[in-house]
Amino acid sequence: MSIHMERLPRTIVLFRAGEASDQVISRAAAQEVAALISSEDIGSDAPVLACLDQRVLPDAVEHLITADWRCVITWICELAVRGAPAIGAAGAAAVALAAFDAAGADEGRAFLQHVQEAAVLIGDARPTAVNLMWATQRMVALAEQRVDAGEDARSVACALFDEACAIQREDEEANRRIGEVGAALLPQGCAVLTHCNAGSLATSFYGTALGVVYAAADQGKLVRVYADETRPVCQGSRLTAWELARAGVPVTLICDDMAASVMAAGEVDAVIVGADRIAANGDVANKIGTLGVAVLARHFGIPFYVAAPTSTIDPDTLTGADIRIEQRSACEVSAHPIEGVDIINPAFDITPADLVTAIITERGAFAPQRALDALG
């Protein structure tokens, strides 16, 4: 099977305004950057962040652009950019934008304080995915170290720009490695079921759960992916199904309530999902509905794998019960509320470690109870 990763757009692109190119971001976004430079709204060396707008997929492939870190918070809250590793990378980029913002006005401690305060606001944009806090804290630690060493604000801001780019590069490398590790666990000619979107769109590139899919497809091991639609926001039907079809992987879209019957029919050899946070005891927070799929997989004797970079493992969170679950708007569940009807919309659930066959990371596959071993 030929896999066409080159057909997938990049989720996050951080660049200097003068380097905007429609090779990596949509033509409209590149033109928008050029217009900003020519109207002197931004200088050609200003850092700009482009994020693929996942709210409008699959109808349109458009990048949003901004030089304003506050705008990135809105995009993260509104799911324009989503998926744990992707919001980590976008959050890091937002800290770099905040540093350039402050570098024009402040030096030393005042500059650092601006970066720290912005990083707290960015890190709070969504509470469940630990990658966001992990990335913003990594950026702040670098800023503190450079300021303490006496570097001027402009050069610290440049170092933060490079660090945000490094986070993206490392994420893609980790995903490619996760793909290799995970593909080795799958049998020849297998079909897998996945939930939500843990694909290239949810990461800097390549994906975690779908990274395993791409690697297995590339090796000729995988015949089909069943994609749960993943109510209420439909990351499965709008994003996973689109992404896989575009990359050339055979995909069948199912409603969430069809997973049991597809498994009962013997159509699924393995389940692979991503994660937003993995607690020290191996409990996994992932998109709402993951727990149900894990229970089904156990019932039908199907292995249930969680694919995630080590940045998703949180040694400071002891169990799943300690993970804060984001509660989102009722409008996502029903656009037309009925008087007298209450609606809940928890965005994630917790799958207990004992339902997980293995956690697949860039450092190998681990029994969930040994998740911390992946951190070395």
The binding track of 80-99 with respect to ligand MRU, each residue x by CB under 6 A or -, is --xxxx--------------
The binding track of 27-66 with respect to ligand MRU, each residue x by CB under 6 A or -, is ----------------------------------------
Angstrom distances, CA of residue 372 to CA of 35, 112, 280, 282: 48, 32, 6, 8
| CA dist., res. 137 & res. 156, Å (int) | 15
Angstrom distances, CA of residue 9 to CA of 1, 26, 27, 247, 274: 20, 9, 12, 10, 20
**Residue 132 φ/ψ, nearest 5 degrees:** -65, -45
| CA dist., res. 85 & res. 372, Å (int) | 19
The binding track of 317-346 with respect to ligand MRU, each residue x by CB under 6 A or -, is ------------------------------
Nearest to 183 by CA among 254, 249, 260: 249
Judged by CB under 6 A, the residue of 179, 274, 303, 320 near ligand MRU is: 274
Count of residues that bind ligand MRU according to CB under 6 A: 17
Task: Name the minimum Å distance from CB 207 to ligand MRU.
Answer: 6
Task: Name the minimum Å distance from CB 171 to ligand MRU.
Answer: 10
Q: Is 322 a catalytic residue?
A: no
| CA dist., res. 249 & res. 245, Å (int) | 6
Closer to ligand MRU by CB, 82 or 224: give it: 82
Site for ligand MRU in 130-189 (CB under 6 A): none
198 binds ligand MRU (CB under 6 A): yes
Angstrom distances, CA of residue 275 to CA of 99, 234, 278, 349: 30, 17, 7, 10
Q: Which stretch binds ligand MRU (CB under 6 A): 8-16, 176-184, 197-205, 357-365?
A: 197-205
Closer to ligand MRU by CB, 163 or 276: give it: 276
297 binds ligand MRU (CB under 6 A): no
Q: Which residues contact 84 (CB under 8 A, 6 or more apart)?
A: 129, 130, 131, 132, 202, 274, 275, 276, 277, 308, 312
**Residue 9 φ/ψ, nearest 5 degrees:** -75, 155
Task: Name the minimum Å distance from CB 305 to ligand MRU.
Answer: 13
Residue 303: helix, strand or coil by DSSP?
Answer: coil
What is the DSSP code string of 277-292?
A: EEETTS-EEEETTHHH
**Which residue is nearest to ligand MRU, using beta carbons?**
274
Q: Which stretch binds ligand MRU (CB under 6 A): 14-22, 37-45, 256-264, 268-276?
A: 268-276
Judged by CB under 6 A, the residue of 347, 350, 358, 365 near ligand MRU is: 347
| CA dist., res. 148 & res. 156, Å (int) | 11
Task: Name the minimum Å distance from CB 309 to ligand MRU.
Answer: 8
Nearest to 161 by CA among 23, 49, 81: 49
Nearest to 33 by CA among 17, 9, 16, 53: 17
Q: Which stretch binds ligand MRU (CB under 6 A): 32-40, 76-84, 104-112, 217-225?
A: 76-84
Task: Name the minimum Å distance from CB 264 to ligand MRU.
Answer: 24
| CA dist., res. 43 & res. 109, Å (int) | 26
237 binds ligand MRU (CB under 6 A): no
The active-site residue, picked from 171, 276, 283, 349, is 276
Task: Name the minimum Å distance from CB 188 to ligand MRU.
Answer: 26
Site for ligand MRU in 204-233 (CB under 6 A): 208
Closer to ligand MRU by CB, 101 or 362: give it: 362
- Give the CA angle between residues 333, 338, 342 to the nearest 5°: 65
Nearest to 235 by CA among 61, 55, 25: 55
Task: Name the minimum Å distance from CB 341 to ligand MRU.
Answer: 24
**Active-site residue list:** 276
Q: Which residues bind ligand MRU (CB under 6 A)?
A: 82-85, 129, 196, 198, 202-203, 208, 235, 274-276, 286-287, 347
